[in-house]
Amino acid sequence: MTVSQSHMPGAAEHLLDVRNLKVHFQVSDRTVRAVDGVDFHVKPAECVGVVGESGSGKSTLVRAISRLMPNLRVSELSGDLRFEGHDILGMSERDLRALRRSHGFSMIFQDPLGYLNPTHRVGRQIAEALTFHGKGRSDSQRVHSLLEEVGFSDPKSIAHGFPHELSGGMRQRVMIAIALASDPKLLFADEPTTALDATVQLQVLQTLYRIHKERNMAVVIITHDLGVVAELCDRVYVMQTGKVVETAGTVDLFERPKHSYSARLIELSAHRINFRSAGL
């Protein structure tokens, strides 16, 4: 599906529909157009990648969508943002919280340690995310089953431990468990494995993919690593200086890139130009 089609009535089938999103920042006397007129959508149970280099606006895009923006420096925030037809930008804090707390969207970040409370046990931090819908099983049972779902074979001891006792990959799994606690339809993952070693990255991504499939949960993954996108995503947006320069199905993008910037990114990450063979 192309972007132009999203303007048709069929757009209602989109889980998330973003049109002409603009986010501008005021930095001293300059206006930075971090996101400058982006159309973006996510269908239910789809895995979408957003790639670009630093400064391309990919993180700002998803932060604006999930309304995690520091209002202070934003000079313009406009566009049409709809999640299951609800207008996100016009939504009250209360409704927004309800959306984040149950069956809406969740988010995980690059540096899990920065988002985990070092003084609380892991289990309590996951249970916190559950609080608003305590029905049926007890909190601790639900925490344990979430920890099992993200791949811990001994959820009890993990729940009882503190974040500093876990490795980087385990912390990211805990973050995923917290994000899953609200039973989201859409998960935003902002560079989820950039801080991890390659072997651990692969394991965490495999887990993320399994959960995406088992729960039929849509995933938006932001990354600068085309390798992650290639193997994980169904569809990709390529961003450069605040604009989407290309959007395509993953196989199409990698095998027939239309924009020169996409082609260059792919080429660079594919072979890293072998200098010596270039006759130097």
Interacting residues toward another protein by CB under 8 A: 53-54, 148, 151-154, 165, 167-170, 173, 197-203, 205-207, 209-210, 224-232, 250-251, 253-255, 264-266, 268-276, 280
> Which residue, 19 or 215, has its beta carbon nearer to another protein?
215
> Which residue, 11 or 263, has its beta carbon nearer to another protein?
263
Q: Report in angstroms how near the CB of residue 199 gets to another protein at its nearest.
A: 4
Tokens of 194: 């950039």
Residue 167 φ then ψ, to 5°: -80, 170
> Which residue, 115 or 209, has its beta carbon nearer to another protein?
209
| Residues 6+ positions from 142 with CB-CB distance below 8 Å | 127, 130, 181
197: which DSSP letter? Answer: -
Q: Report in angstroms how near the CB of residue 57 gets to another protein at its nearest.
A: 14
CA distances from 59 to 107, 188, 267 (A): 12, 10, 23
Q: Report in angstroms how near the CB of residue 1 gets to another protein at its nearest.
A: 18
> Which residue, 7 or 264, has its beta carbon nearer to another protein?
264
Q: Report in angstroms how near the CB of residue 209 gets to another protein at its nearest.
A: 5
For strand 16-27 and strand 30-42, is the pairing parallel, antiparallel, or unpaired? Answer: antiparallel
CA distances from 100 to 34, 54, 130, 179 (A): 24, 27, 11, 9
> Which residue, 21 or 47, has its beta carbon nearer to another protein?
47
| Residues 6+ positions from 34 with CB-CB distance below 8 Å | 23, 24, 25, 57, 60, 242
Q: Report in angstroms how near the CB of residue 269 gets to another protein at its nearest.
A: 5
